[in-house]
Amino acid sequence: MPEDGKVAKFGGACVSKPEMYDRMAALLKSDPGRKFVVVSAVAGVTDSLVQTIARPREEKEIDQYLADVRKRHVALLPAPPEDGGRATEAMDALLRKLERLLYGIAYTEEITPRIRDFVLSFGERLSAQVVAANLRSRGVEAEAFEADQIGLMTDETYGNATALLGDTRDHMAPILRRQAGAGHVAVITGFFGLSPEGKTATFGRGGSDYSAAVVAHALDLRTVEVWKDVGGFMSADPKIVPEAFPLSVLSYDEAAELSYFGAKVLHPRAVQPARACGASLFLKNIYRPGDAGTRIGPDTVDRSGDVKSISYVRDLATLKVYATGLGSDEVLLSHSSTALADAGVNIFSAATSQTCVAFLVESDAVNRAKKALTRMGGLTPEKVEASPHASLVCFVGEGIGHAHGVAARVFRAVADRGISVQFITAGASMVAYQFTVNTKDLEDALRAVHREFFGDGGKRHRSASATVPSASAPLP
């Protein structure tokens, strides 16, 4: 039997203004099932931590930075301070720790992936204190928790960790159940957990969505609400495709593919723990709590249509590795992908032929990737060619693998605009296809594909079941 209760995750924009705490408190009071709150850092704070450790800093700079961070958070605390300044005290203790860390980095001029993750986690630690204090001052019994101290367990992949779901359930669930039993709302830090060696490990940028799903899994809950200051998924990025419309349902796979390939509304891995416990993810707009938003759940697979949404990733590069007569394509593929993984290069797509393997990688990583491929252990390729300015278009839909001629329609629509397609990946997933175009053609290609499937009027051409027309919800 699933337990009752919901996880409500609040993103950066929803924890950064006193008016937002009013909204949050109202949501928690209106539905007592919302017992577990997961928070992101205050907007801009994680970015500022990333920038602060990007290069060695003088002590003066560190002091100034910490004073700014303190001011920013103190300004968000309720006035007069509740509980004799309990949150201020907790925040000052956190800032002293952060100060020691930043000084350490400045003196040693060294930063390991572990230390980096520890530093980046302070945004959420501070925001959990601010949010809990604000909820208390609005009559909600709330308590702040740091995920790594209550047993949200992860592997050791610092910067891109994965939660250990079984261990987390064992460690974290009893603590959170006790809180809920005492009638307290637990305000839990998103974004990180505790690695087996006892260090903080983050889930990658935007990782608080994933944390929320991990908490739901640990407690066997069926509802994860992801509250943002925009709505959920749309048929395309409305900044590029003005007739794009919101989507009320998506399957786990559709949401995962869209998120992985550029839609910034959800962390790409948030779907995994939700799927593992059959929870639905509801993406909701905090300004319009009555709107349905987008639901992603175990019962949302709809194979009757074709393309449901189109996403994109800008600024990629294609790398082609040629190696005629050097054995099979499998050897070339395995050596090349190992070399790229060892160099920390994220591969978006790969395609092979007998003599050549092509990879799609982030353009920032192209030099590193090229170097890694030129000097692979045991294999010297004849040539490694990099072409920049590639952008990827991804179209998804559970029905794509079942309907006929969907890909042909996509490519014809793009070709009719005089755009050439460079790289196509299909078949890896039955619900998503990707292709690349020159970045200068990206926006035109997105509009062409959207028009092909949804017409000039966007949602007006959709079947009635497709959408709730009101939310305004830009994809990035």
DSSP letters, 419-456, are: PPP-EEEEEEETTEEEEEEEGGGHHHHHHHHHHHHH-T
* Exposure b/e, 267-291, CB count within 10 A at least 16 = b: bbbbbbbbbebebbbbbbbbbbeeb
Q: Does 190 bind Mg ion (CB under 5 A)?
A: no
Q: Does 41 bind ligand ASP (CB under 6 A)?
A: yes
Interface region with Mg ion, contact rule CB under 5 A, candidates 22-30, 135-143, 202-210, 365-373: 202-210
Binding residues for Mg ion restricted to 1-60, rule: CB under 5 A:
11
* Partner that binds at residue 207, options Mg ion, ligand ASP, none, CB closer than 5 to 8 Å by kind: ligand ASP
| Of 459, 409, 454, the residue nearest 435 (C-alpha) | 409
* Partner that binds at residue 293, options Mg ion, ligand ASP, none, CB closer than 5 to 8 Å by kind: none
What H or E segment, with its residue span, contains residue 339? helix 329-342
Q: Measured on CA atoms in the order 338, 344, 348, 353, is the torsion positive or negative? A: negative
Residue 252: phi, psi to the nearest 5?
Answer: -55, -45
Q: Does 381 bind Mg ion (CB under 5 A)?
A: no
| Of 243, 307, 242, 252, the residue nearest 276 (C-alpha) | 252
Tell me whether residue 190 or residue 397 sits nearer to ligand ASP (CB atom). 190
Q: Does 397 bind Mg ion (CB under 5 A)?
A: no
Q: Does 207 bind Mg ion (CB under 5 A)?
A: no
Tell me whether residue 11 or residue 297 sits nearer to ligand ASP (CB atom). 11
Report d(CA 24, CA 39) in Å as an integer: 11
* 349: DSSP letter: E
Report d(CA 142, CA 401) in Å as an integer: 47
CB 400 within 8 A of CB 430: yes
Binding residues for ligand ASP restricted to 43-62, rule: CB under 6 A:
46
Counting residues that bind Mg ion (by CB under 5 A) gives: 2
CB 34 within 8 A of CB 126: no
Tell me whether residue 259 or residue 425 sits nearer to ligand ASP (CB atom). 259
| Of 86, 65, 124, 465, the residue nearest 305 (C-alpha) | 465
Tell me whether residue 147 or residue 339 sits nearer to ligand ASP (CB atom). 147
Q: Does 190 bind ligand ASP (CB under 6 A)?
A: yes
Q: Write the binding mask 195 to 214 for ligand ASP: x where contact by CB under 6 A, - elsewhere.
A: ----------xxxx------
**What 3-state class would DSSP assign to 331?**
helix
Report d(CA 73, CA 180) in Å as an integer: 27
Q: Write the binding mask 305 to 344 for Mg ion: x where contact by CB under 5 A, - elsewhere.
A: ----------------------------------------
* Partner that binds at residue 191, options ligand ASP, Mg ion, none, CB closer than 5 to 8 Å by kind: ligand ASP
Query: To the nearest whole angstrom, how small is the minimum distance from the Cβ of residue 208 to ligand ASP?
Result: 3
Tell me whether residue 32 or residue 44 sits nearer to ligand ASP (CB atom). 44
CB 439 within 8 A of CB 314: yes
Query: To the nearest whole angstrom, how small is the minimum distance from the Cβ of residue 256 to ligand ASP?
Result: 17
- Find the binder of Mg ion among 151, 206, 207, 381 (CB under 5 A): 206
Q: Does 97 bind ligand ASP (CB under 6 A)?
A: no
* Partner that binds at residue 46, options ligand ASP, Mg ion, none, CB closer than 5 to 8 Å by kind: ligand ASP
Interface region with ligand ASP, contact rule CB under 6 A, candidates 40-48, 53-61, 68-76, 437-445: 40-48
* Partner that binds at residue 285, options ligand ASP, Mg ion, none, CB closer than 5 to 8 Å by kind: none
Give bridge partners of residue 201 from the DSSP assignment: 193
Q: Does 293 bind Mg ion (CB under 5 A)?
A: no
Tokens of 350: 């790969």
| Of 96, 102, 128, 103, the residue nearest 48 (C-alpha) | 102
Query: To the nearest whole angstrom, how small is the minimum distance from the Cβ of residue 13 to Mg ion?
Result: 9
Q: Does 72 bind ligand ASP (CB under 6 A)?
A: no
Residues that bind Mg ion (CB under 5 A): 11, 206
Residues that bind ligand ASP (CB under 6 A): 12, 40-41, 46, 123, 190-191, 205-208
